[in-house]
Copies of this chain bind each other. A is one copy, B any other.
Amino acid sequence: MTEQEIRVAVVGYSFMGKAHSNAWRNVGAFFPGLPAVRQQVLVGRDGAAVKAAAHQYGWAEAATDWEAVVARDDVDLVDICTPGDTHRDIALAALAAGKHVLVEKPLANTVVEAEEMVAAAASARATGTRAAVGFNYRRVPALALARELIADGRIGAVRQVRAAYLQDWLADAAAPMTWRLRKETAGSGVLGDLGSHVVDLVQLLLDEPVVTASGRLETFVPTRPGPDGAEQVTVDDAAWATLGTASGAVASVEVSRMATGRKNGLTLEVYGDRGALSFDLERLNELQVQDGLAGPALGFQRVLVTEPEHPSLSAWWPPGHVLGWDHTFTIQAAELLQAVAGGADPTPSFEDGLQVQRALAAIADSSERGGVRVDVPTGPTGPTGPTGRTGTED
């Protein structure tokens, strides 16, 4: 397996491009048994800027034309770190060219796009081409451990999940207008940005889809200063949802960019009939565990998830030597390489990404309909009904 080399192209070189570049540069140093990575080319629209970024982040080349890049023979994997409105086009082209694809979350801006991408991934899969979506928080070792503990029955059957993802970078009403606050460019506000992570984690941890959703979206600051005066904010800056899963569990979700004092506050509490788990991304090396198989529920145990037997940890440092946020992307790269090398389907799949989109669309739809509970379709991809319940974009 170690003979193999994967030549990677990353499209996008800002925040996510930097994080993914870091992962490709380092994955081999920590996961030596995997195919070697060659940082082939970094792609961006601004030639000078992408050239500088490529140099800084360790890429052999820079390029400005993604369509040319995805067609190159010396590229094996295309990693898409661009804004959501370009995901579908790049992914479809790359898959059609036989390249493995990693798409930064959310999978797409609409359910319709996501469904097209799922169809393309399904076709590509038949020829051994792999597709994955980049929900990197699945790779936080503490959350991977949480999933293991739940799967092992350590908290029993899950009844309730209490989840939030709170930031405060828009709390100041004087913060200026950006493309992220316009529906036509961003597709969605905090719901798509942070809510997508939360929904993915709920579905991951419970290993089942969300099937009903009740939602409320709010825009607390309706206008913001633009270069030519006040502009209308057309996306949500906070959102709430109550989700039902197939097994009857209920998850509450709150996401916000207005939660003063919260910087990257992704918190999860999972309550089973025998035990419970709790997590906070700002302390990402820790998992609070109420182990239902270890006696009465007298209190949460703070597990520092840095032991060699913890998920992915044997690749890193001795116990107590904590990981940072960016390590999750390195682990994500490792798991994708392993799938590619092993001829297996990576996770999360485009189907997983689609299912997140469907839940988000249902939340938005419910909000428009006064909060009434709506169903989230979970079957195979197909035409959706005229109600718009599965697609806010109809």
Tell me the A residues contacting B by CB distance below 8 Å.
15, 18-19, 21-22, 25-26, 28-29, 32, 52, 56-58, 155-156, 159-160, 162, 164, 166-169, 171-173, 214, 216, 218, 220, 238, 240, 242, 248, 250, 252, 254, 256, 258-265, 269, 271-276, 281-286, 289-290, 292, 294-304, 306-307, 316-327, 366, 369-373
Contacts and interface: CB of A to CB of B under 8 A. Distances in A.
A304 B296 CA distance: 12
A22 B26 contact: yes
Contact of A322 (B284, B298, B304): B284
A214 B371 contact: yes
A370 B173 CA distance: 34
A321 to B, nearest CB: 4
A325 B317 contact: yes
A59 to B, nearest CB: 10
A218 B250 contact: yes
A167 B320 CA distance: 9
Contact of A276 (B162, B260, B324): B260
Contact of A261 (B58, B167, B300): B300
Contacts of A326: 316-317, 321, 324
A366 B373 CA distance: 10
Copies in the complex: 4
A271 B250 contact: no
A228 B262 CA distance: 52
Contacts of A282: 285, 304, 320, 322
Given A25-B25, A272-B260, A322 B320 contact: no
Among A19, A256, A304, which residue has the most Cβ atoms of chain B within 10 A?
Answer: A304
B322 A260 contact: no
A271 B299 contact: no
Nearest to A32: B56
A58 B296 CA distance: 36
Given A261-B297, A301-B298, A29 B57 contact: yes
Contacts of A254: 160, 162, 252
Contact of A56 (B29, B250, B371): B29
A61 B250 CA distance: 50
A303 B261 CA distance: 10
A259 to B, nearest CB: 5
Nearest to A212: B371
A216 B214 contact: yes
Nearest to A258: B159
A214 B159 CA distance: 20
Nearest to A319: B263
A366 B295 CA distance: 38
B260 A242 contact: no
A151 B292 CA distance: 26
Given A167-B320, A282-B320, A370-B372, A26 B28 contact: no
20 contacts: A15-B318, A162-B254, A169-B318, A169-B319, A171-B273, A173-B273, A214-B214, A214-B216, A218-B250, A240-B242, A240-B250, A256-B271, A260-B272, A260-B274, A261-B271, A261-B297, A263-B306, A282-B285, A323-B325, A324-B325
B301 A260 contact: no
A322 B323 CA distance: 9
A168 B297 contact: yes
Given A164-B162, A371-B372, A299 B301 contact: yes
A207 to B, nearest CB: 19
Contacts of A294: 294-295
